[in-house]
Amino acid sequence: MSALLQEIAISSVDVAPWVIVKAYDPASDSAVERPASSLSIGDLVWTRPECGGEYNWFMVTQVSSQRSLGHRLMLQDGRTVEVGNRHRFYTDGNWIQAQLLRRGDILIGERPGIVESVEPIDEIDTTQIIVSGAHTFQANGMLSHDTENTRQPTGRDVLV
């Protein structure tokens, strides 16, 4: 197991505390699914770098909680994900903000999902996760970015 350890100053995005993240459990020397709120600095999560590449273990360098306006994504397979307004998912080569996803968009990850609907939700408790080196993690099996796109959105907010 190797972790890429690189510190970068960034702005984070957030997920609901109950969203499942694939993490490394040193006690069993295996991957386990854990709620985002249970992660700590130094934990390893299974993901891949934001610009592509191989899946590997990457270190969590920041975890915090806050209240945030958000969106609820409902997927065709029944999964639901609640995220903060700035959260982005990976879709066919692009990082797109959750609020700009459309019905039929395919969210990439180890457990891909097809968007059924996206709806705004009131302020929710959220967990912010920063992952060094990769700047991604998997939220309920779908590749999620850990930082916001700071440029002004135009149409669908796509990070290229």
Q: Would you state the pLDDT for residue 157?
A: 44
State the Cα–Cα distance between residues 114 and 13, nearest whole angstrom: 21
Using a 10 angstrom Cβ sphere, with 0-12 exposed, 13-18 middle and 19 or more buried, the burial of residue 7 is exposed
Inform me whether the pLDDT recorded for 71 exceeds 50.
Answer: yes
Q: Would you state the pLDDT for residue 13?
A: 61
Q: Would you state the pLDDT for residue 68?
A: 87
Give me the residue label for tokens 């609020």: 99
Q: Where are the domains of the chain?
A: 14-150
Sheet with 136-139: list strands edge to edge: 136-139, 142-145, 88-91, 94-97, 158-159
Report the percentage of the chain scoring pLDDT > 90: 63
pLDDT mean over 128-143: 91
Q: Would you state the pLDDT for residue 149?
A: 47
Instruction: Write down the pTM of the prediction.
Output: 0.81
State the Cα–Cα distance between residues 78 and 63, nearest whole angstrom: 28
Question: Distances in Å between the alpha carbon of 93 and those of 106, 143, 160?
Answer: 11, 11, 8
Question: Which 8-state DSSP code applies to residue 141?
Answer: T
Using a 10 angstrom Cβ sphere, with 0-12 exposed, 13-18 middle and 19 or more buried, the burial of residue 56 is middle
Inform me whether the pLDDT recorded for 45 exceeds 80.
Answer: yes
Split at pLDDT 50, 70, 90, the class of 25 is very high
Architecture field, domain 14-150: Beta Complex (2.170)
